[in-house]
């Protein structure tokens, strides 16, 4: 006979049962909420796939948009999105990660730095349309970059910079102080410590943040509409100064048309967008897994 049963008084037993019951209720509630989210996502995916899958073929990927649904494709939008995301990665990753390193490792902690940190966190919550207005004012008009890929990319970079900075800072913070102390005690400078130990150890976390940020950029529509990305583009952009369209804009455009066929085309484009996102995420997961293995 278990000892605890002998020892506990009836009152204690009763309260213990109550506590177990509460724990069970809470666990059920969490499971419920999790499944609800998943179910909603599955329904959404099912709808998109049932609408769009039949339209998805090589022609769809290789045709320019058209007013005839059976001839319409996403060639220019897909190319625009790939261009855009590459340029955004090119601008935003180095600036964001460098900022995070500076804030965490180099800057002196004073009132000014605290104000800047607070503002970066606030910027992450600013509606994306506001970034569109900034992009329109600064890049399109101010710097006369016109409605080009580079304007779009710079605007998007501004939009996701706070996210990259915050995620990278969190990742850098998780590197234990003891590792830094060990490096400093060997007569390393701060830069050597950061480059050889802090960055490699925080790389998986930084990568996760970067991918989340790029995923946000790939799906954003409002800032691009604001800076005037075109909705009808019948060519593939060849350089950063070309005008462009992107998948979310193409989707937005098709969804707002009355014909049912275009709605199905939009669903097909969403499938492509999701595939691009998934591909990016799986590359990130793969690289992160490799890095984490190397660290252990």
Partner 1 sequence: MRKNGTAEVVAISEDERILGIDDVTICYSDNPAVKNVSFDIARNKITSIIGPSGCGKSTLLRSLNRMNEFISEVSLKGRVSFDGQDLYAKSVDPVEVRQHIGMVFQKPNPFPKSIYKNVSWGPTVNQYDGSIPELVERSLKQASLWNEVKDRLNDSALGLSGGQQQRLCIARALAIEPTVLLMDEPCSALDPISTAHIENLMYDLKSRYTIVIVTHNMQQAARVSDYTAFMEMGNLIEFGETDQIFTRPQEKRTEEYVTGRFG
**Where do contacts with partner 1 occur on this chain (CB under 8 A)?**
109, 176-189, 192, 196-197, 201, 295-296
- Looking from the CA of 132 toward its CB, the CA atoms found within 13 Å total 14
Tell the smallest beta-carbon distance from residue 291 to partner 1 (Å). 11
Tell the smallest beta-carbon distance from residue 198 to partner 1 (Å). 11
Tell the smallest beta-carbon distance from residue 207 to partner 1 (Å). 16
Nearer of residues 105 and 242 to partner 1, judged by Cβ: 105
Q: Which long-range contacts (CB under 8 A, 24 or more apart) does 144-148 make?
A: 145/241, 146/241, 146/243, 147/227, 147/228, 147/229, 147/230, 147/243, 148/240, 148/241, 148/242, 148/243, 148/244
Nearer of residues 149 and 206 to partner 1, judged by Cβ: 206
Nearer of residues 179 and 241 to partner 1, judged by Cβ: 179
Closest Cα to residue 84, out of 269, 295, 256, 229?
Answer: 229
Nearer of residues 137 and 174 to partner 1, judged by Cβ: 174
Name the one residue in this structure whose structure tokens are 């996502």: 41
Nearer of residues 121 and 196 to partner 1, judged by Cβ: 196
Nearer of residues 129 and 188 to partner 1, judged by Cβ: 188
DSSP H helices, 102-136, are 111-123, 128-135
Tell the smallest beta-carbon distance from residue 210 to partner 1 (Å). 21
The answer to whether 207 and 238 are in contact (CB under 8 A) is no
Q: How far apart are CA 163 and CA 158, in angstroms?
A: 10
Tell the smallest beta-carbon distance from residue 273 to partner 1 (Å). 37
Q: How far apart are CA 235 and CA 213, in angstroms?
A: 28
Q: How far apart are CA 121 and CA 164, in angstroms?
A: 11
Bridge partners (DSSP) listed for residue 243: 148
Nearer of residues 183 and 268 to partner 1, judged by Cβ: 183
Tell the smallest beta-carbon distance from residue 184 to partner 1 (Å). 6
Nearer of residues 9 and 108 to partner 1, judged by Cβ: 108
Tell the smallest beta-carbon distance from residue 289 to partner 1 (Å). 15
Closest Cα to residue 55, out of 278, 266, 248?
Answer: 266
Neighbours of 38 (CB within 10 A): 10
Residue 182 vs residues 90, 161, 172, 187, 191: alpha-carbon distances, Å: 33, 31, 16, 9, 14
Tell the smallest beta-carbon distance from residue 188 to partner 1 (Å). 5
């Amino acid at each position: 006979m278990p000892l605890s049963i002998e020892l506990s008084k009836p009152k204690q037993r009763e309260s213990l049962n109550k506590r177990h019951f509460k724990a069970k209720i809470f666990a059920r509630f969490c499971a419920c909420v999790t499944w609800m989210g998943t179910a909603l996502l599955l329904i959404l995916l099912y709808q998109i796939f049932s609408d769009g899958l039949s339209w998805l073929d090589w022609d769809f990927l290789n045709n320019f948009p058209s007013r005839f649904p059976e001839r319409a494709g996403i060639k220019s939008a897909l190319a625009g999105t790939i261009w855009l995301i590459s340029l955004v990665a090119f601008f935003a990753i180095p600036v964001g990660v460098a900022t995070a390193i500076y804030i965490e490792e180099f800057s002196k902690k004073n009132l000014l730095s605290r104000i800047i940190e607070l503002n970066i966190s606030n910027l992450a919550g600013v509606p994306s349309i506001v970034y569109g207005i900034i992009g329109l004012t600064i890049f399109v008009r101010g710097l006369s970059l016109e409605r080009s890929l580079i304007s779009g990319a710079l605007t998007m970079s501004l939009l996701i910079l706070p996210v990259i900075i915050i995620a990278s800072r969190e990742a850098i913070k998780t590197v234990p102080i003891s590792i830094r102390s060990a490096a400093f005690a060997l007569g390393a400078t701060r830069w050597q410590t950061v480059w050889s130990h802090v960055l490699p150890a925080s790389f998986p976390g930084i990568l996760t943040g970067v991918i989340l940020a790029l995923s946000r950029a790939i799906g954003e529509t409002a800032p691009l509409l604001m800076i005037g990305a075109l909705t009808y583009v019948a060519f593939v952009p060849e350089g950063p100064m070309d005008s462009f369209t992107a998948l979310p804009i193409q989707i937005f455009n098709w969804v707002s048309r009355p014909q049912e066929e275009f709605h199905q085309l939009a669903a097909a484009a969403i499938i492509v967008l999701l595939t691009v996102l998934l591909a990016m995420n799986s590359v990130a997961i793969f690289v992160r897994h490799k890095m984490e293995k190397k660290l252990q």
